[in-house]
Amino acid sequence: MTNQTDKNTFDAIVVGSGISGGWAAKELTEGGLKTLVLERGRNVEHAKDYTTALKNPWDFKNGTHLTNKELEERPVQSSHCNATDKHFYVKDSEHPYIQTNPFKWIRGYQVGGRSLTWGRQSYRLSEMDFEANKKDGHGVDWPIRYKDLEKWYDYVEEYVGISGSKESLPQLPDGVFLKPIPLNAIEQHLKETVSEKYSDRVLINGRVANLTEATKGRGPCIYRNLCSRGCPFSGYFSSNSSTLLDAHNSGNLTLRANSIVKKVIYDEDKKRAIGVIIIDTITKEEFSYYAKIIFLNASAIATAAILLNSTSPSFPNGLGNSSLQVGHNLMDHIVNNASFGTYEGLKDKYYEGKSPGTIYIPRFQNLNSETKNKKFVRGYGIQGKGERENWQTKSTVGFGKSLKEQLSTPGKWKFFLGGRGETLPNYENKITLDSENKDQWGLPLVKVDFKYGPNEIAMMEQMTKESEEILLNAGFENVGSYRTPPSPGSAVHEMGTARMGHDPKTSVLNKHNQMHDVKNVFITDGSCMTSSGCQNPSLTYMAITARACQYAINQLKSGLL
């Protein structure tokens, strides 16, 4: 991959190389634009730099456990990583931030970003989601509707490779799918029970970006379920395995790793952004790069931080922030305390290979008048997985020969269910910069100020209750839920900090993801989200990015940018 360059002028600059930055890189370079991709973390080359991918369990000195020293360096990240994939997560000690209330900011500073470690769940938003704000009055109206994004969903799905089944659900549109990852015996049992006992919900095969069939020279998935280490078989979608490689193959990509964007340079005379100032993380030197258009894809919190730090006479509160909405309306999905239960039957059934997928019970609340919930607006879906207990999860009694036998015998079936719910946009949930506290590069620390509101709390209680009830209805025993719900941020779906909208007074981006105030700056990471839906959002970021890139290229070619 192309690296360091003395050239400093490009057609386009993309900030960030994660799931949306990778797409911007691919679309812009394939559209003929000489593009510089800036990544604050180190380079990670596909396959070659997946250093733990082929290791066996015994190759890790302490198994999956982090050492005390590693834990101290990662007080936040440690809930999401372990010894086998920790190198794809930051050390909090090197990249501090301030939490006014507990908020997990899970980060992967490297080429490919969090596309290396994402959960790969890929769902479309529906018309219901795009209309939600307008209908119930929370937040501002989305300036786009499902029909605006539909063909872009098709486009990215066809490239990414999403396994799934067509279900004809209005709240969860079907897409371009590879064959689904099949359900195992207990998952099939739960699916049947849900259909039998409930008229308002169904259980479907989770839609995941794991390649059940080879796609564009990648994959297929070989069912190791070790995705977060990086896949040398390209069995799942990441920027590294696909978009960045194609961007590179176009001949138009320059990738500069170890480059933190300090600010976007705004030219007061031209009334446009002309480039960015970066800090080389290793030498701590500053460099400037220039381009006609700039795509910010640093992830919701980091993109907002760059905007807030990009002050100028025209924009004393941060670039494109005349609305004072930049950094506000931070959302993440609600993740409840997962529920679980064991099942006595189906003891003669097992499976071979490890599924990287899940089951999904799409949203079944507030879809219509029959499913209206009295306690909250919007809704949640439930994700889960069934498996037979093994030594990691099963109860054992005693020691000696009998214990040894217990370990080698497949245990009971066990199911985990966890709700994933919508968070409402709320101006008070925000990120700001703390200029009193700086990081090692002299940049102000990000301060995250986020709390669930009554709607989120009511929904969270309900999703736990429902999950337990579903398991009980399906004959599970020992049904329970973990007591403490994970902190906000745990879904790693932070979004909303530079929202799209019709009105420049109340939103940051227009319907093409252009900044209302600065037309040659585009933002297509999670920042742009006007509402959160309850679906895992990466697929929407990809579709929105591809759409905005095409618009930007056309505008540029028509001399309008």
Partner 1 sequence: MNRRTAIGGILGIAGLGIASVSVLKYFKTDIDISKGKLVNYESLISELVDVIIPPTETPGAKSAKVQNFVINYMEECASIKEYTKFFNGLNDLQETCLDSYGIPFEECSDIQKNEQLENLDSGLDSNSMFMKISNKLRGRSFFNILKTLTIEGYCISSVGATQHLAYLPFPGKYEAITTLKTNQKAWATK
> What is the rounded distance in angstroms from the CA atom of residue 268 to the CA atom of residue 286?
21
Residue 233 CB, nearest approach to partner 1 (Å): 9
> What is the rounded distance in angstroms from the CA atom of residue 222 to the CA atom of residue 124?
26
35 phi, psi to nearest 5 deg:
-125, 130
Q: Which is nearer to partner 1, 62 or 100 (CB)?
A: 62
Q: Which residues bind partner 1 (CB under 8 A)?
A: 56-58, 60-63, 65-69, 181-185, 187-188, 222-225, 347-355, 387-388, 390-392, 394-401, 403-404, 407-411
Determine contact, residues 424/453, Cβ cutoff 8 Å.
yes
Question: Residue 220, preceding bond cis, omega within 30 degrees?
Answer: yes
Q: Which is nearer to partner 1, 347 or 372 (CB)?
A: 347
> What is the rounded distance in angstroms from the CA atom of residue 497 to the CA atom of residue 237?
26
Stretch (H or E) spanning 404 = helix 401-408
Q: Which is nearer to partner 1, 205 or 329 (CB)?
A: 205
Residue 180 CB, nearest approach to partner 1 (Å): 10
- Strands, E, within 25-74: which ranges? 35-38
Query: Of 110, 108, 150, which Cα lies nearest the Cα of 127?
Result: 150
> What is the rounded distance in angstroms from the CA atom of residue 24 to the CA atom of residue 255?
13
Residue 410 CB, nearest approach to partner 1 (Å): 4
Q: Which is nearer to partner 1, 26 or 189 (CB)?
A: 189
Determine contact, residues 415/340, Cβ cutoff 8 Å.
yes
Residue 352 CB, nearest approach to partner 1 (Å): 4
Residue 356 CB, nearest approach to partner 1 (Å): 9
> What is the rounded distance in angstroms from the CA atom of residue 258 to the CA atom of residue 216?
30
Q: Which is nearer to partner 1, 269 or 352 (CB)?
A: 352
Residue 185 CB, nearest approach to partner 1 (Å): 5
Strands 35-38 and 9-15: parallel
> What is the rounded distance in angstroms from the CA atom of residue 93 to the CA atom of residue 82?
16
Q: Which is nearer to partner 1, 78 or 99 (CB)?
A: 78
Residue 407 CB, nearest approach to partner 1 (Å): 6
Determine contact, residues 83/64, Cβ cutoff 8 Å.
yes
Q: Which is nearer to partner 1, 282 or 407 (CB)?
A: 407
Query: Of 412, 555, 558, 507, which Cα lies nearest the Cα of 141?
Result: 507
Residue 502 CB, nearest approach to partner 1 (Å): 46
Strands 272-280 and 259-267: antiparallel
Q: Which is nearer to partner 1, 59 or 269 (CB)?
A: 59
